[in-house]
Structure 1
Amino acid sequence: MDLITSAQRDELFNEFEHDAFHLELRDDYGSPVEDTPYARWKRGEPDDYAWLVPWTALMKRVTGEGRTVRRVRVVTEPHSRYVTWERSLTHLNIDMGEDIRWLPRHLLPKDVTFPARGNDWWLYDDRLLAVGHFDAEGRVLGSEIVEDTETVAECVRVRDLLWGLAIPHAEYKP
């Protein structure tokens, strides 16, 4: 399987026309970009958020052009330390124009099955998937591009189901 880098995946934001949706299913992630700020947060040190500048610029441009960027974060309660940190930063994503909702894992429908082997994914315009792959420690290995219409259709169905169940960030009180 061929994987693209996170930077190559981010280039897909230049190509979609209407909607980009991210399904996040992990309670812990590892990314070289996040390692230092996450370590600072765990030590109680302040963050200048300089590491977020490329993402901020991209999201402000994309959403400023009238395109939507949405996420559903399926999380275990009580939250892992990573999710607690991620939640503390979510207001920054919202300020960039993203729409983020939370879905506690215990509220998932019993019969829900996740396409793409249960991996996280970005869905662009209901036609293209970038399926995330991770190592055992949750570090990002890259994304697999999937255009198979059956897999994409299943992701659209799951997205629509979970979006309707998920709690908008401002209303989420774990």
Structure 2
Amino acid sequence: MLLRLNDEPDLWGSLFAECERSAFHLETLDAYAVASESEPLRRFLNGEPADTRWFDPWRTVMEDSTGRGVSVSRVRVVTQPLTDYRRWLLTLTPENIGAGEDIRYLPRHLAGEVPTEDFWLFDDLRVAFHVRDADHRGLGLVVTTDPGLVRYCVETRDRLWSQATRFDEYAGSSR
């Protein structure tokens, strides 16, 4: 296992640059404490116009990855009714999709057993687990190629993906 800290330069860029075929993200929390999202979330909650320039670095990573043929997908397991954070992310999901991601939603009460830790699964060979403090602030990643953990994450992805609803269908039904 390898611990990668958030202050490492270009953490996400390097993980995606090494990815050749597929990257999958499982999100399980109802809110995250991500410093770069604080101001955009505040604007949303106050009804102010969105400014998505803060999203540009992620958009670039996604466009570079999908441009090389990497399939990027994610499932968001959500509690209903949606938290303010999740309502905000729902409005931003078109940004992710525009950058090449395929995103699906799954209500928590329909999901069955869900891991307590979010993860990224790269090429079905490597898993990056998020490490967070008690307030859900990201501290870093634990990256592993352990076959048992990778298999568990592949099986979890396959099960939740097959149950989840495409963003456009979910967004239309949640309004």
Same fold (TM over 0.5): yes
Question: CA-to-partner distance for each residue in 1:63-122, whole Å, 9 max, x for gaps?
Answer: 12221100000000000000000001001111111000000001113xx352xxx20000
**Which residue of 1 is the match for residue 79 of structure 2?**
76
Give the conservation status (yes or no) of the 8 Å contact 2:126–2:150: yes
Q: Which residue among 37, 40, 44 is the counterpart of 2:43?
A: 40
Check conservation: 2:26, 2:120, Cα contact below 8 A. Answer: yes
Moved over 6 A (4+): none
Root mean square deviation of aligned Cα: 1.4
Correspondent of 1:25 among 24, 28, 39: 28
Number of the residue aligned with 2:62:
59
Unmatched 5+ stretches in structure 1: none
Structure 1-normalised TM-score? Answer: 0.92
**TM-score, normalization: structure 2?**
0.91
In the alignment of these two chains, the number of paired residues is 169
Residue 22 of structure 1 and its aligned partner are, at CA, apart by 0.1
Choose from 149, 154, 171 the match for 2:147: 149
Matches within 5 A, 1:1-174: 2-5=3-6, 7-109=10-112, 112=113, 114=115, 118-172=116-170, 173-174=173-174
Percentage identity across paired residues of the two chains: 42
Say if 2:28 and 2:114, in contact at 8 Å, map to a contact too.
no
SS of 1:2's equivalent in the other structure is strand
Instruction: State the alpha-carbon separation in 2 of the partners of residues 39 and 138 from structure 1.
Output: 17
Whether the aligned pair in 2 keeps the contact of 1:9 and 1:143 (CA below 8 Å) is: no
Q: Is the 8 A contact 1:128 1:147 kept in 2?
A: yes
Instruction: Quote how far apart the aligned CAs of 1:124 are.
Output: 0.1
